[in-house]
Amino acid sequence: MEFDLQPLCFPSDNKRPFVIAGPCSAETEEQVMTTAHQLAEKGCHMFRGGVWKPRTKPGGFEGQGEKALPWMARVKQETGMLTATEVATPHHVELALKYGIDILWIGARTSANPFAVQELADSLKGVDVPVLVKNPVSPDLELWIGALQRIHAAGIRRLGAIHRGFSSVDQKLYRNTPLWHIPIELHRRIPNLPVVCDPSHIGGRRDLIAPLCQQAMDMGFDGLIVESHCNPDEAWSDAKQQVTPDVLDFILDRLVVRDNVEMTESLASMRKQIDDMDDHLMDLLTKRMRVSREIAIYKKEHNMGVVQTARYSEILDKRGAQGSMCGMSASFVRRVYEAIHEESVRQQM
């Protein structure tokens, strides 16, 4: 899939990826300016601040709105940093541009709604401003791509994506499950689209920010957007996932940014081994499905149901335990065999 894009050209240095940093919410002018100056002293070039805050339930702090935009303008004037904020309505876009906001992003709740995204796209026609689109709250790659296509169709050429993880009802380590394969597939489908990682919203806890930043770099993300507050414990929103500018500087200083070097002969040899093993796997799966079809004939002749629950449970338990003994995650092996079983049933039907 091709997008006609221009480079974002965000400022950075040779040792670090580009980083957009700042508080979850622009709470007070003092808080905004204190955080901004501390970040600027640490070498940050782009300042984020939530002006409008979509909350899950009413009654919480929903941002200062237009009142906070002059504070963002002051940040730019005094520190030289570019400024960024989230927009969710055409009115937000109008006000953000009026006050000179340099970078806009579309939040996860908004990108999940094609009607809302289209309204934003219409309001952006004729505007030359970088726009970053967060993934929808649900793990729906097509919905994410659709939101990007709508903004692109409006004429926005400095376009990027933000991976902030996906909502889940299950108890888990992360606030939002990363599901890294989805942004990886997005990059495969749209290779020239910059993808930024949001470790704050993925982790939901400040102790997870550093490892998530490194993981993003290891997987080739183009940059980071991190929530940083001069006094995180007193933040009016998302206090647990914000870090001080000092801590953020510590994290960024220790990041290992991988080089995107040409494939070496040794790597080529190992990839050839993977390709050979994948060919062997495909051959084995083909033979397995042929046996499944033979089983289907036997079941039909003996008036047996297609799905044998006891047998299915036995396979999952046995192969999951075997996977653990072989150094693999039992849940991974179970997912593999669930997919194999689903195709086997389809073949038998």
Q: Is the pLDDT of residue 208 over 90?
A: yes
Compute the average pLDDT of residues 114-142: 97
Cα–Cα distance measured from residue 157 to residue 151, given in angstroms and rounded to the nearest whole number: 9
DSSP class of residue 41 equals H
Binning the chain into helix, strand and coil, the percentages to the nearest 5 are 50, 10, 40
Higher pLDDT, 349 or 336: 336
Q: Is the pLDDT of residue 4 over 70?
A: yes
pLDDT of 228 reads 98
Q: Is the pLDDT of residue 15 over 80?
A: no
Compute the average pLDDT of residues 193-220: 95
Compute the average pLDDT of residues 141-170: 95
Q: What is the mean pLDDT of the chain?
A: 92
pLDDT of 313 reads 87
Q: Is the pLDDT of residue 262 over 70?
A: no
pLDDT of 143 reads 98
| Confidence tier at 119 by pLDDT (50, 70, 90) | very high
pLDDT of 231 reads 97
pLDDT of 92 reads 98
| Confidence tier at 260 by pLDDT (50, 70, 90) | low
Compute the average pLDDT of residues 177-185: 93
pLDDT of 266 reads 79
Give Cβ neighbours of residue 305 (< 8 Å, ≥ 6 apart): 299
Cα–Cα distance measured from residue 193 to residue 235, given in angstroms and rounded to the nearest whole number: 33
Higher pLDDT, 15 or 207: 207
Of the candidates 17, 25, 87, the residue with the CA atom closest to the CA atom of residue 46? 17
Cβ burial of 135 (10 Å; 0-12, 13-18, 19+) is buried
> How many helical (H) and strand (E) elements, i.e. helices and strands, does the chain have?
13, 8
| Half-sphere exposure (Cβ direction) of 106: Cα atoms closer than 13 Å | 32
Q: Is the pLDDT of residue 150 over 70?
A: yes
| Confidence tier at 263 by pLDDT (50, 70, 90) | low
With beta carbons less than 8 A apart as the criterion, state whether 20 and 46 touch: yes
Query: pLDDT tens, 278-300?
Result: 888 988 999 998 998 998 888 88
Q: Is the pLDDT of residue 94 over 90?
A: yes
To the nearest whole percent, how much of the chain has pLDDT over 70?
Answer: 98
Least confident of 63-72, 129-138, 240-249, 300-309: 300-309
| Confidence tier at 301 by pLDDT (50, 70, 90) | confident
Q: Is the pLDDT of residue 211 over 90?
A: yes
| Confidence tier at 164 by pLDDT (50, 70, 90) | very high
